[in-house]
Amino acid sequence: MKTLIGLELHVELKTQRKMFCKCKSAFGDEPNTNVCPVCLGMPGALPVINEFAIEQAIRAGLGLNSEIAKVIKMDRKNYFYPDLVKGYQISQEDTPICAGGYVEIEVDGNKKRIHLERAHIEEDTGKANHMGDITLMDYNRAGLPLIEIVTKPEIESGKEARAFIEELRDILTELGVSDCKMEEGSMRVDCNFNIVDGDFKTAITEVKNIGSTSGVEMAMNYEFNRHKDLLAKGEKGIRETRRWDEEKQETVVMRVKSESNDYRFQFDGDIPILPVEDELVQKIKDNLPELKSERKERLIKTYDLSDYDAGIISNDKNLSEYFESISKEVGDEKLVVNWIMNEFLRRINDLETTIDDLKFEKADFVNLLKLVKENKINNNSAKKVFREMFEDGTSSEEIIKRDNLLQVSDDGAIEKWVADVMEANPDSITDYHNGKDRALGFLVGQVMKASRGKADPVLVNKMILDKLNEMK
Protein backbone atom coordinates (compact mmCIF):
# COMPACT_ATOMS: atom_id res chain seq x y z
CA MET A 1 0.00 0.00 0.00
CA LYS A 2 1.35 3.39 -1.00
CA THR A 3 0.13 6.89 -0.27
CA LEU A 4 0.20 9.41 -3.12
CA ILE A 5 -0.09 13.11 -2.33
CA GLY A 6 0.26 15.90 -4.86
CA LEU A 7 0.11 19.55 -3.89
CA GLU A 8 -1.12 22.63 -5.73
CA LEU A 9 0.10 25.83 -4.10
CA HIS A 10 -1.08 29.30 -5.03
CA VAL A 11 1.59 31.79 -4.03
CA GLU A 12 1.00 35.53 -4.37
CA LEU A 13 4.04 37.34 -5.73
CA LYS A 14 5.52 40.24 -3.79
CA THR A 15 4.89 43.29 -5.99
CA GLN A 16 3.72 46.87 -5.55
CA ARG A 17 0.86 46.56 -8.04
CA LYS A 18 -1.41 43.95 -9.55
CA MET A 19 -0.59 41.69 -12.48
CA PHE A 20 -2.35 43.58 -15.28
CA CYS A 21 -3.18 47.01 -13.86
CA LYS A 22 -1.80 49.74 -11.62
CA CYS A 23 -3.98 48.95 -8.61
CA LYS A 24 -2.15 48.59 -5.32
CA SER A 25 -1.19 45.14 -4.14
CA ALA A 26 -1.97 45.19 -0.42
CA PHE A 27 -3.55 43.06 2.30
CA GLY A 28 -6.14 44.24 4.78
CA ASP A 29 -7.42 47.38 3.05
CA GLU A 30 -11.11 48.25 3.05
CA PRO A 31 -13.04 45.98 0.65
CA ASN A 32 -13.16 47.04 -2.98
CA THR A 33 -10.85 50.04 -2.57
CA ASN A 34 -7.98 48.69 -4.69
CA VAL A 35 -9.91 48.15 -7.92
CA CYS A 36 -10.15 49.65 -11.39
CA PRO A 37 -11.89 48.92 -14.72
CA VAL A 38 -9.17 46.38 -15.64
CA CYS A 39 -9.34 44.17 -12.54
CA LEU A 40 -13.13 44.59 -12.45
CA GLY A 41 -13.41 43.32 -16.03
CA MET A 42 -15.14 46.41 -17.44
CA PRO A 43 -15.83 46.43 -21.19
CA GLY A 44 -12.97 47.91 -23.19
CA ALA A 45 -10.43 47.79 -20.36
CA LEU A 46 -7.17 46.24 -21.54
CA PRO A 47 -4.56 44.47 -19.39
CA VAL A 48 -0.90 45.59 -19.32
CA ILE A 49 1.50 42.98 -17.99
CA ASN A 50 3.52 43.67 -14.83
CA GLU A 51 7.11 42.95 -15.90
CA PHE A 52 8.40 42.87 -12.33
CA ALA A 53 5.91 40.09 -11.55
CA ILE A 54 7.43 38.14 -14.46
CA GLU A 55 10.89 38.65 -12.96
CA GLN A 56 9.61 37.45 -9.58
CA ALA A 57 8.21 34.30 -11.20
CA ILE A 58 11.56 33.66 -12.91
CA ARG A 59 13.35 34.22 -9.59
CA ALA A 60 11.07 31.63 -7.98
CA GLY A 61 11.68 29.14 -10.79
CA LEU A 62 15.46 29.48 -10.53
CA GLY A 63 15.27 28.97 -6.76
CA LEU A 64 13.20 25.82 -7.36
CA ASN A 65 15.66 24.38 -9.90
CA SER A 66 13.14 24.74 -12.75
CA GLU A 67 13.67 25.35 -16.45
CA ILE A 68 12.59 28.84 -17.48
CA ALA A 69 10.41 29.21 -20.58
CA LYS A 70 11.69 31.15 -23.58
CA VAL A 71 8.42 33.07 -24.04
CA ILE A 72 5.58 34.37 -21.88
CA LYS A 73 2.19 33.39 -23.28
CA MET A 74 -0.98 34.07 -21.35
CA ASP A 75 -4.22 32.13 -21.78
CA ARG A 76 -7.84 32.53 -20.73
CA LYS A 77 -9.14 29.90 -18.33
CA ASN A 78 -12.92 30.05 -18.70
CA TYR A 79 -15.24 29.30 -15.81
CA PHE A 80 -18.13 31.11 -14.18
CA TYR A 81 -17.97 32.00 -10.52
CA PRO A 82 -18.65 35.24 -8.62
CA ASP A 83 -14.95 35.75 -7.79
CA LEU A 84 -14.15 36.04 -11.51
CA VAL A 85 -15.70 39.23 -12.80
CA LYS A 86 -14.50 38.71 -16.39
CA GLY A 87 -15.87 35.20 -16.62
CA TYR A 88 -12.33 33.91 -17.15
CA GLN A 89 -9.01 33.91 -15.38
CA ILE A 90 -5.78 34.96 -17.10
CA SER A 91 -3.43 32.01 -16.63
CA GLN A 92 -1.03 29.75 -18.57
CA GLU A 93 -1.92 26.41 -20.09
CA ASP A 94 0.72 24.89 -22.35
CA THR A 95 3.71 27.18 -21.79
CA PRO A 96 4.26 27.59 -18.04
CA ILE A 97 6.94 30.04 -17.02
CA CYS A 98 8.69 27.26 -15.06
CA ALA A 99 8.89 23.59 -16.02
CA GLY A 100 10.11 20.81 -13.74
CA GLY A 101 12.30 21.52 -10.74
CA TYR A 102 12.41 20.06 -7.23
CA VAL A 103 12.44 20.81 -3.52
CA GLU A 104 14.55 18.75 -1.14
CA ILE A 105 12.98 17.94 2.23
CA GLU A 106 14.20 16.17 5.33
CA VAL A 107 11.87 14.11 7.53
CA ASP A 108 13.08 12.08 10.52
CA GLY A 109 16.66 12.43 9.34
CA ASN A 110 15.90 11.16 5.82
CA LYS A 111 16.36 13.46 2.83
CA LYS A 112 13.99 13.24 -0.12
CA ARG A 113 13.62 15.18 -3.35
CA ILE A 114 10.03 16.15 -4.30
CA HIS A 115 9.81 16.96 -8.01
CA LEU A 116 7.63 19.64 -9.52
CA GLU A 117 5.44 19.38 -12.60
CA ARG A 118 5.37 23.11 -13.29
CA ALA A 119 4.84 26.59 -11.95
CA HIS A 120 2.75 28.98 -13.98
CA ILE A 121 1.68 32.61 -13.72
CA GLU A 122 -1.92 33.58 -13.20
CA GLU A 123 -4.00 36.32 -11.66
CA ASP A 124 -5.70 35.86 -8.32
CA THR A 125 -9.46 35.89 -7.92
CA GLY A 126 -11.69 37.95 -5.67
CA LYS A 127 -12.53 36.79 -2.17
CA ALA A 128 -15.96 35.66 -1.05
CA ASN A 129 -17.01 36.69 2.45
CA HIS A 130 -19.86 34.53 3.69
CA MET A 131 -22.12 36.28 6.20
CA GLY A 132 -25.01 34.08 7.18
CA ASP A 133 -27.35 33.71 4.23
CA ILE A 134 -25.53 36.25 2.07
CA THR A 135 -22.12 36.37 0.40
CA LEU A 136 -20.25 39.61 -0.19
CA MET A 137 -17.43 39.87 -2.74
CA ASP A 138 -14.18 41.76 -2.16
CA TYR A 139 -12.24 42.31 -5.38
CA ASN A 140 -9.14 43.85 -3.81
CA ARG A 141 -7.43 40.49 -4.32
CA ALA A 142 -8.65 40.11 -7.92
CA GLY A 143 -5.79 40.50 -10.33
CA LEU A 144 -2.96 40.07 -7.82
CA PRO A 145 -0.02 38.24 -9.45
CA LEU A 146 0.59 34.71 -8.31
CA ILE A 147 2.27 31.50 -9.35
CA GLU A 148 0.63 28.12 -9.06
CA ILE A 149 3.20 25.47 -8.12
CA VAL A 150 2.20 21.88 -8.88
CA THR A 151 4.13 18.93 -7.45
CA LYS A 152 4.30 15.39 -8.73
CA PRO A 153 2.42 12.89 -6.53
CA GLU A 154 5.61 11.88 -4.70
CA ILE A 155 4.65 12.93 -1.16
CA GLU A 156 3.82 9.91 0.98
CA SER A 157 2.62 11.25 4.32
CA GLY A 158 1.15 14.23 6.10
CA LYS A 159 4.53 14.84 7.70
CA GLU A 160 6.22 14.98 4.28
CA ALA A 161 3.53 17.34 2.97
CA ARG A 162 4.11 19.68 5.89
CA ALA A 163 7.89 19.52 5.45
CA PHE A 164 7.54 20.35 1.74
CA ILE A 165 5.35 23.41 2.35
CA GLU A 166 7.63 24.70 5.10
CA GLU A 167 10.74 24.23 2.95
CA LEU A 168 9.04 25.87 -0.04
CA ARG A 169 7.97 28.78 2.16
CA ASP A 170 11.54 29.24 3.38
CA ILE A 171 12.89 29.24 -0.18
CA LEU A 172 10.37 31.72 -1.54
CA THR A 173 10.65 34.13 1.39
CA GLU A 174 14.45 34.09 1.23
CA LEU A 175 14.22 34.83 -2.49
CA GLY A 176 11.97 37.79 -1.70
CA VAL A 177 9.33 36.36 -4.06
CA SER A 178 6.47 36.17 -1.55
CA ASP A 179 5.78 36.55 2.15
CA CYS A 180 3.94 33.17 2.03
CA LYS A 181 1.57 34.02 4.90
CA MET A 182 -1.02 31.27 4.93
CA GLU A 183 -3.05 33.13 7.54
CA GLU A 184 -3.42 36.05 5.09
CA GLY A 185 -3.98 33.87 2.05
CA SER A 186 -0.77 34.79 0.24
CA MET A 187 0.00 31.06 0.19
CA ARG A 188 -2.91 28.66 -0.29
CA VAL A 189 -2.65 24.89 -0.53
CA ASP A 190 -4.82 22.28 -2.22
CA CYS A 191 -3.95 18.65 -1.56
CA ASN A 192 -4.74 15.72 -3.87
CA PHE A 193 -4.80 12.40 -2.02
CA ASN A 194 -5.30 8.73 -2.82
CA ILE A 195 -3.94 5.30 -1.90
CA VAL A 196 -2.64 2.62 -4.24
CA ASP A 197 -2.61 -1.05 -3.24
CA GLY A 198 -1.39 -3.18 -6.11
CA ASP A 199 -3.78 -2.63 -9.01
CA PHE A 200 -6.43 -1.11 -6.73
CA LYS A 201 -6.61 2.66 -6.34
CA THR A 202 -8.91 4.82 -4.29
CA ALA A 203 -10.45 7.80 -6.08
CA ILE A 204 -8.47 11.05 -5.79
CA THR A 205 -9.71 13.43 -3.13
CA GLU A 206 -8.95 17.13 -3.36
CA VAL A 207 -8.75 18.87 0.04
CA LYS A 208 -9.09 22.66 0.26
CA ASN A 209 -9.46 25.34 2.92
CA ILE A 210 -6.33 24.44 4.90
CA GLY A 211 -4.93 27.45 6.72
CA SER A 212 -1.69 26.15 8.22
CA THR A 213 1.10 23.64 7.70
CA SER A 214 0.00 21.71 10.78
CA GLY A 215 -3.51 21.64 9.29
CA VAL A 216 -2.11 20.12 6.08
CA GLU A 217 -0.42 17.36 8.08
CA MET A 218 -3.56 16.61 10.09
CA ALA A 219 -5.82 16.72 7.01
CA MET A 220 -3.60 14.25 5.16
CA ASN A 221 -3.46 11.96 8.20
CA TYR A 222 -7.26 12.08 8.35
CA GLU A 223 -7.56 11.24 4.65
CA PHE A 224 -5.11 8.37 5.04
CA ASN A 225 -7.32 6.76 7.66
CA ARG A 226 -10.48 7.45 5.62
CA HIS A 227 -9.01 5.96 2.44
CA LYS A 228 -7.60 2.99 4.34
CA ASP A 229 -11.12 2.26 5.59
CA LEU A 230 -12.34 2.39 1.97
CA LEU A 231 -9.67 -0.12 0.97
CA ALA A 232 -10.66 -2.43 3.80
CA LYS A 233 -14.23 -2.40 2.43
CA GLY A 234 -13.03 -2.95 -1.14
CA GLU A 235 -14.39 0.46 -2.15
CA LYS A 236 -12.70 3.11 -4.28
CA GLY A 237 -14.82 5.99 -3.09
CA ILE A 238 -15.75 8.87 -5.38
CA ARG A 239 -13.76 11.71 -6.87
CA GLU A 240 -14.65 14.72 -4.76
CA THR A 241 -13.53 17.99 -3.26
CA ARG A 242 -13.48 18.22 0.52
CA ARG A 243 -12.57 20.99 2.93
CA TRP A 244 -10.64 20.78 6.17
CA ASP A 245 -12.76 21.60 9.21
CA GLU A 246 -10.27 22.86 11.79
CA GLU A 247 -12.78 22.76 14.64
CA LYS A 248 -13.96 19.19 13.99
CA GLN A 249 -10.49 18.01 12.87
CA GLU A 250 -11.94 16.29 9.83
CA THR A 251 -12.49 16.78 6.11
CA VAL A 252 -16.03 17.57 4.93
CA VAL A 253 -17.52 17.08 1.44
CA MET A 254 -17.84 20.28 -0.60
CA ARG A 255 -18.74 18.96 -4.03
CA VAL A 256 -18.36 15.94 -6.29
CA LYS A 257 -15.79 16.44 -9.05
CA SER A 258 -16.38 15.46 -12.65
CA GLU A 259 -13.80 13.34 -14.37
CA SER A 260 -12.52 16.22 -16.43
CA ASN A 261 -12.68 19.99 -16.35
CA ASP A 262 -13.61 21.92 -19.45
CA TYR A 263 -11.96 25.29 -18.96
CA ARG A 264 -11.87 25.94 -22.71
CA PHE A 265 -8.36 27.41 -22.54
CA GLN A 266 -7.64 29.89 -25.29
CA PHE A 267 -4.84 32.31 -26.05
CA ASP A 268 -5.46 35.78 -24.60
CA GLY A 269 -5.04 38.06 -27.60
CA ASP A 270 -5.07 41.16 -25.40
CA ILE A 271 -1.64 40.22 -24.04
CA PRO A 272 1.16 39.87 -26.60
CA ILE A 273 3.59 36.96 -26.43
CA LEU A 274 6.75 38.24 -24.76
CA PRO A 275 10.24 36.78 -25.24
CA VAL A 276 12.25 35.86 -22.14
CA GLU A 277 15.78 37.03 -22.86
CA ASP A 278 18.67 34.81 -21.75
CA GLU A 279 20.42 37.93 -20.44
CA LEU A 280 17.52 38.68 -18.11
CA VAL A 281 17.45 35.13 -16.73
CA GLN A 282 21.21 35.17 -16.18
CA LYS A 283 21.04 38.56 -14.45
CA ILE A 284 18.36 37.30 -12.06
CA LYS A 285 20.34 34.10 -11.48
CA ASP A 286 23.52 36.03 -10.67
CA ASN A 287 21.66 38.08 -8.05
CA LEU A 288 19.92 35.24 -6.26
CA PRO A 289 20.56 35.21 -2.50
CA GLU A 290 22.15 32.21 -0.81
CA LEU A 291 19.38 29.78 0.16
CA LYS A 292 19.14 27.95 3.47
CA SER A 293 20.29 24.57 2.09
CA GLU A 294 23.29 26.18 0.42
CA ARG A 295 24.08 28.14 3.56
CA LYS A 296 23.99 25.00 5.69
CA GLU A 297 26.45 23.13 3.47
CA ARG A 298 28.81 26.13 3.42
CA LEU A 299 28.74 26.46 7.22
CA ILE A 300 29.60 22.77 7.59
CA LYS A 301 32.53 23.03 5.18
CA THR A 302 33.84 26.43 6.31
CA TYR A 303 33.47 26.12 10.08
CA ASP A 304 33.42 22.34 10.54
CA LEU A 305 30.01 22.51 12.23
CA SER A 306 27.93 19.44 12.98
CA ASP A 307 24.94 18.79 10.76
CA TYR A 308 22.62 19.66 13.67
CA ASP A 309 24.34 22.93 14.61
CA ALA A 310 24.62 24.02 10.98
CA GLY A 311 20.93 23.22 10.47
CA ILE A 312 19.84 25.40 13.40
CA ILE A 313 22.10 28.34 12.53
CA SER A 314 21.45 28.28 8.77
CA ASN A 315 17.69 28.21 9.32
CA ASP A 316 17.79 31.92 10.19
CA LYS A 317 19.68 34.14 7.77
CA ASN A 318 20.21 36.85 10.40
CA LEU A 319 21.52 34.30 12.91
CA SER A 320 23.87 32.83 10.31
CA GLU A 321 25.30 36.26 9.48
CA TYR A 322 25.61 37.04 13.20
CA PHE A 323 27.49 33.80 13.86
CA GLU A 324 29.89 34.30 10.97
CA SER A 325 30.63 37.91 11.87
CA ILE A 326 31.40 37.06 15.50
CA SER A 327 33.45 33.98 14.56
CA LYS A 328 35.73 36.06 12.33
CA GLU A 329 36.35 38.60 15.11
CA VAL A 330 36.79 36.09 17.94
CA GLY A 331 38.86 33.65 15.89
CA ASP A 332 37.42 30.52 17.53
CA GLU A 333 34.31 29.18 15.78
CA LYS A 334 34.03 26.21 18.20
CA LEU A 335 33.73 28.58 21.14
CA VAL A 336 31.31 30.85 19.27
CA VAL A 337 29.00 28.05 18.10
CA ASN A 338 28.90 26.63 21.64
CA TRP A 339 27.76 29.99 23.02
CA ILE A 340 25.34 30.62 20.14
CA MET A 341 23.70 27.18 20.45
CA ASN A 342 23.43 27.24 24.23
CA GLU A 343 23.42 30.61 25.98
CA PHE A 344 22.46 32.87 23.05
CA LEU A 345 19.54 30.93 21.54
CA ARG A 346 18.24 29.93 24.97
CA ARG A 347 17.92 33.55 26.01
CA ILE A 348 16.54 34.57 22.60
CA ASN A 349 13.78 31.95 22.99
CA ASP A 350 13.14 32.67 26.68
CA LEU A 351 12.69 36.39 26.04
CA GLU A 352 10.85 35.82 22.74
CA THR A 353 13.07 38.37 21.03
CA THR A 354 15.11 38.53 17.83
CA ILE A 355 18.63 39.51 16.82
CA ASP A 356 17.30 42.82 15.52
CA ASP A 357 15.92 43.63 18.99
CA LEU A 358 19.03 42.82 21.06
CA LYS A 359 19.76 45.43 23.73
CA PHE A 360 23.54 45.02 23.57
CA GLU A 361 26.01 45.70 20.78
CA LYS A 362 27.68 42.89 18.85
CA ALA A 363 31.07 44.31 19.95
CA ASP A 364 30.14 43.57 23.58
CA PHE A 365 29.51 39.91 22.76
CA VAL A 366 32.80 39.73 20.84
CA ASN A 367 34.67 41.31 23.77
CA LEU A 368 33.17 38.81 26.22
CA LEU A 369 34.03 35.78 24.08
CA LYS A 370 37.59 37.00 23.54
CA LEU A 371 38.04 37.19 27.31
CA VAL A 372 36.67 33.63 27.65
CA LYS A 373 38.99 32.45 24.87
CA GLU A 374 42.01 34.04 26.59
CA ASN A 375 41.00 32.56 29.98
CA LYS A 376 40.67 36.04 31.45
CA ILE A 377 37.17 35.29 32.70
CA ASN A 378 35.72 31.94 33.69
CA ASN A 379 32.59 30.45 32.13
CA ASN A 380 30.34 30.97 35.15
CA SER A 381 31.23 34.65 35.41
CA ALA A 382 30.90 35.04 31.63
CA LYS A 383 27.37 33.58 31.75
CA LYS A 384 26.39 36.05 34.48
CA VAL A 385 27.75 38.92 32.37
CA PHE A 386 25.87 37.64 29.33
CA ARG A 387 22.61 37.42 31.23
CA GLU A 388 22.88 41.04 32.35
CA MET A 389 23.79 42.15 28.81
CA PHE A 390 20.62 40.50 27.53
CA GLU A 391 18.39 41.93 30.25
CA ASP A 392 19.39 45.59 30.23
CA GLY A 393 21.98 46.13 27.50
CA THR A 394 24.87 47.00 29.86
CA SER A 395 28.19 46.54 28.05
CA SER A 396 30.30 43.51 28.92
CA GLU A 397 33.28 45.74 29.69
CA GLU A 398 31.27 47.80 32.18
CA ILE A 399 29.87 44.75 33.99
CA ILE A 400 33.26 43.03 34.25
CA LYS A 401 34.94 46.19 35.53
CA ARG A 402 32.13 46.97 37.98
CA ASP A 403 32.07 43.48 39.49
CA ASN A 404 35.83 42.90 39.26
CA LEU A 405 35.34 39.62 37.33
CA LEU A 406 38.64 39.29 35.46
CA GLN A 407 40.53 36.16 36.42
CA VAL A 408 43.67 36.57 38.48
CA SER A 409 46.72 35.12 36.76
CA ASP A 410 49.22 36.62 39.19
CA ASP A 411 51.32 33.75 40.57
CA GLY A 412 51.84 35.45 43.90
CA ALA A 413 48.16 36.02 44.61
CA ILE A 414 47.17 32.51 43.54
CA GLU A 415 50.01 30.97 45.53
CA LYS A 416 48.69 32.70 48.67
CA TRP A 417 45.19 31.29 48.14
CA VAL A 418 46.61 27.81 47.48
CA ALA A 419 48.78 27.92 50.59
CA ASP A 420 45.87 29.03 52.80
CA VAL A 421 43.55 26.31 51.46
CA MET A 422 46.10 23.51 51.83
CA GLU A 423 46.92 24.60 55.33
CA ALA A 424 43.23 24.55 56.25
CA ASN A 425 42.58 21.12 54.68
CA PRO A 426 45.31 18.64 55.76
CA ASP A 427 42.87 15.72 55.58
CA SER A 428 42.34 16.34 51.86
CA ILE A 429 46.10 16.26 51.30
CA THR A 430 46.28 12.90 53.09
CA ASP A 431 43.32 11.59 51.07
CA TYR A 432 45.05 12.53 47.79
CA HIS A 433 48.26 10.77 48.80
CA ASN A 434 46.13 7.71 49.68
CA GLY A 435 44.85 7.55 46.11
CA LYS A 436 41.63 9.56 46.42
CA ASP A 437 41.85 11.72 43.32
CA ARG A 438 38.64 13.57 44.21
CA ALA A 439 40.56 15.37 46.89
CA LEU A 440 42.36 17.37 44.19
CA GLY A 441 39.06 18.65 42.83
CA PHE A 442 37.97 19.62 46.34
CA LEU A 443 41.15 21.64 46.92
CA VAL A 444 40.81 23.39 43.55
CA GLY A 445 37.19 24.21 44.38
CA GLN A 446 38.18 25.70 47.73
CA VAL A 447 40.76 27.95 46.06
CA MET A 448 38.18 29.10 43.50
CA LYS A 449 35.78 29.81 46.36
CA ALA A 450 38.43 31.78 48.25
CA SER A 451 39.23 33.82 45.12
CA ARG A 452 35.50 34.34 44.39
CA GLY A 453 36.01 32.60 41.07
CA LYS A 454 38.68 34.99 39.88
CA ALA A 455 41.69 32.67 40.07
CA ASP A 456 42.80 31.06 36.82
CA PRO A 457 41.65 27.42 37.38
CA VAL A 458 44.42 26.04 35.14
CA LEU A 459 47.07 27.77 37.23
CA VAL A 460 45.36 26.74 40.47
CA ASN A 461 45.28 23.09 39.40
CA LYS A 462 48.98 23.16 38.43
CA MET A 463 50.08 24.84 41.64
CA ILE A 464 48.20 22.42 43.89
CA LEU A 465 49.55 19.41 41.99
CA ASP A 466 53.10 20.73 42.25
CA LYS A 467 52.75 21.24 46.02
CA LEU A 468 51.12 17.84 46.54
CA ASN A 469 53.94 16.14 44.64
CA GLU A 470 56.51 18.02 46.73
CA MET A 471 54.89 16.61 49.87
CA LYS A 472 55.31 12.95 48.86
Q: Between the CA atoms of 279, 281, 284 and 290, what dihedral angle is there, to the nearest 10 degrees?
A: -130
Rounded to an integer, the average pLDDT of 323-341 is 96
> Looking at the domain 411-470, which fold is it?
Arc Repressor Mutant, subunit A (1.10.10)
Instruction: From 105, 142, 92, select the one nearest 292 (Cα to Cα).
Output: 105
CA distances from residue 168 to 12, 328, 399 in whole angstroms, order as listed: 13, 31, 44
pLDDT at 258 over 60: no
Least confident of 61-65, 335-339, 395-399, 416-420: 416-420
Can you count the helices (H) and strands (E) in the chain? 16, 18
3-class secondary structure, 152? coil
**Average pLDDT of the segment spanning 369-389:** 90
DSSP state, 242?
E
pLDDT score of 105 more than 80: yes
CA angle 157, 159, 165 (to 5 degrees): 105
pLDDT in tens, 282-304: 999 999 999 999 999 999 999 99
Identify which of 223, 203, 226 has the alpha carbon closest to the alpha carbon of residue 215.
223
Domain extents in the chain: 2-281, 411-470
Q: CB-side exposure of 364: number of CA atoms within 13 Å?
A: 20
DSSP 284: H
Indicate yes or no: pTM above 0.85. no
Work out the percent of the chain whose per-residue pLDDT is above 70: 97
Average pLDDT, the chain: 91
Residue 465 has what pLDDT? 84
d(C-alpha 104, C-alpha 118), whole Å: 16
Pairing of strands 200-201, 205-210: unpaired
Residue 281 amino acid letter: V
